[in-house]
Chains A and B, each alone.
Chain A
Amino acid sequence: MKGLSDKIYDALRSVKLAAALIVLIAILAAAGGIIPQGRTIQFYTQRFPGTAEKLILALGLDKIFTGLPFLALASLFTVNLTICSFHRFANEMRKPRANRRHGPDLLHIGLLIFIFGGILSSRTRTEAFIYLGKGQAARLPDGALLTLVDLREERYPDGRPKSWESSVVIDDKAATSLTGVVTPAESGGDTLGESGYTGEDPRIAAGGKAPQVPTSPGSGGVTTASTALAHEAGALAQPTEVRVIKVNNPLRHKGSTIYQQDWNSELRVVLEDAMGIKLRLEPGTLAPMLGGSVRFMTVEKHEPSQAGAEECSNYKAVFLVSTAAGKEILRAGKGDKVGTFTFSSFEEAPVSGLKIVRDKGYPLVAAGLGLIVLGTFLTYIRKLKGMFA
């Protein structure tokens, strides 16, 4: 006669329970596959008006995959899989070596490793999205400085993208330096360097530590960090290897992976000083002047007022002008005075969209996936042989 613990053990390792849980998980996943997940309340109100919307929100069908029913089923499935795996493995080991079949064991253990990796990933994964122009830099989560030294884009004749490629250098030593900065020499003179405001000018170097790339746990931590990046010139970085990031060919560096994700363009402004020297500013960057500074904040875009007008003719650049007298927000068009400068023109510059991810769970996920493939093929290979026998 079996005791209660034996009965519970048998129930928890049973194939019937596994099959029932798989069906229930599939049903919940189907609901999650039909109802868009994680949207705003307004979205559900518009898409599913009336009772359906109330039902979706009340039952948590807008967040099925993080909801209690799904997680409870997944947890019970994991318990079932764990007990079943070890029970089965122990049984196989009692058999003569020639009769053992370890395909299902590998598959089940692979699934367990995959689930564990998935949990670790969901708890620890961080990601950030940044746009960098040529010569711009951003701090990686470990403090190293990532500088975009070149970017290339190819298009097919029909205008669709063919390839996006970013060349970067990573300066690990900048992790401890006080002034981790962009390197004008490597940037092709396309940043502050060209205007003659490079070097050791204390007005530019002040506060020259690049801000760290913002990260957010989970997903969705998206920011146009180019506005928050360091553009201050300073000491040249140590010569480092130039590494290429392409779509489908990410760069892995000390626990971070950098992906080529997007390609865009950014409007810069060109200011001219009294000497006629031109200075290019990206959004968020600062130009020092006698008695203060000018920070280019953003572009206010208005539709061109007449057909054939230059695209940017109606755009206004917004500056924050700081002087001893105080701070002033200034909207300027071409030819307007901005502090001691004259606003010369807009200039469009390509920027590379890079995604920076840290995911401690992925190695386990990949190992689990490998075992799953091996396990399923070992389990069913006999059928493939048998088909043509």
Chain B
Amino acid sequence: MIATLSFALLLISMIIQAVYLFRKDEAKDPLSPWLALGAGLLLLAEIIRRSVAIRFVALTSMFESLLFMACLVSFIVFALRYSKRLRAGRAITFGATALLIIFLALASSPLAPAEMRPPVPALQSGWLVLHVSFTFIGEAFFAAGFVGAFLQLAAKTEEKRRNYDRLAYTSIAIGYPIFTAGALVFGAVWAEKAWGVWWSWDPKETWALITWLTYTAYLHFRLVRKNTSKVMPILVIAGFIIAMFTFFGVNFLLSGLHSYA
């Protein structure tokens, strides 16, 4: 119910943003970032409600992960809009809101059952909470970077390209250390404690590593190539697609130790 309400808020936000997108002036609507923030707060409330019900941090199923991811992206949409340094344009917040709606649509699909189930023993760990939460916080920034990179490729003026590139780079530079800590470091520590092996080339681990390598390659390419190169936005887009494949695709297509994720 709460998730549906936040979905409705985001839909309204998206409609308002779409109207403003077609305006010729640079005016930004005053309402949509607050709707995104409201949706984010509602999703956070739902996560807290579920956590209380299962007596553990509700981050142990795909449904809960999607809610958490959507909640984080909502906050990032709000922050982007009010960051003076980044000057995120209307297209960025519109793109990020579209991503949010996709996440929530997936959460309401049969792919992500919404039933509340307390975690099995392997999932009852503080390291797991750190692993999952940091990974999704990192990926939420990658989502903002993905929208920025996508718009960078589509931009027609050099100024816009530079602006989108700056936004994409900032998002990745913030998301990268958080993702590194969550997906790889806390994940390895948790795996060692739960399974007795810190790395096992499990498909989820392998694809998380590929995601990390892709963003690592991006950050290194930035040191040697001009920011007008198309390689960089392509790497950012590829990185996010791989991250989403790691999140969804691996669960459905490849079996492994993370099959309960």
A residues within 8 Å of B by Cβ? 15-16, 18-19, 22-23, 25-26, 29-30, 32-34, 36-37, 65, 118, 121, 127, 156, 158, 160-164, 219, 246-250, 257, 259-261, 355, 357, 362, 365-366, 369-370, 372-373, 376-377, 379-381, 383-384, 386-389
Contacts and interface: CB of A to CB of B under 8 A. Distances in A.
Contacts of A16: 224
A19 B118 contact: no
Report whether over half of chain B's contact residues are helix, strand or loop; otherwise say mixed: helix
Interface stretch (B45-53, B93-101, B188-196): B188-196
A18 B122 CA distance: 37
A334 to B, nearest CB: 36
B207 A33 contact: yes
Interface stretch (B5-13, B26-34, B156-164, B212-220): B212-220
Nearest to A377: B177
Interface stretch (B14-22, B35-43, B78-86, B104-112): B78-86
A57 B216 CA distance: 31
Contact of B180 (A36, A127, A257, A373): A373
Interface residues of B, number: 50
B117 interface: yes
Nearest to A29: B210
B201 A65 contact: yes
Contacts of B190: 248
Given A161-B121, A162-B121, A30 B210 contact: yes
B193 A373 contact: no
A366 B198 CA distance: 9
Contacts of A373: 177, 180-181, 185
Given A22-B220, A365-B188, A259 B85 contact: no
Contacts of A22: 213, 216-217, 220
A384 B174 contact: yes
B170 A365 contact: no
A246 B181 contact: no
B155 interface: no
20 contacts: A15-B220, A18-B220, A22-B220, A29-B206, A29-B209, A29-B213, A65-B201, A160-B117, A164-B121, A247-B124, A259-B196, A261-B195, A365-B188, A380-B176, A381-B177, A383-B170, A386-B170, A387-B79, A388-B79, A389-B84
Contacts of A372: 180, 184-185
Contacts of A257: 196
A64 to B, nearest CB: 9
B193 A376 contact: no
The 5 closest A-B CB pairs, nearest first, are A247-B121, A376-B177, A26-B213, A383-B173, A33-B206
B1 interface: no
A247 B122 contact: yes
A48 to B, nearest CB: 14
A33 B188 CA distance: 17
Nearest to A356: B196
- Most chain B CB neighbours (cut-off 10 Å) among A248, A261, A384: A248
B177 A379 contact: yes
Nearest to A164: B121
A357 B196 contact: yes
Contacts of B170: 383, 386-387
B200 interface: yes
Nearest to A30: B210
Nearest to B207: A33
Given A15-B220, A65-B201, A383-B170, A33 B210 contact: yes
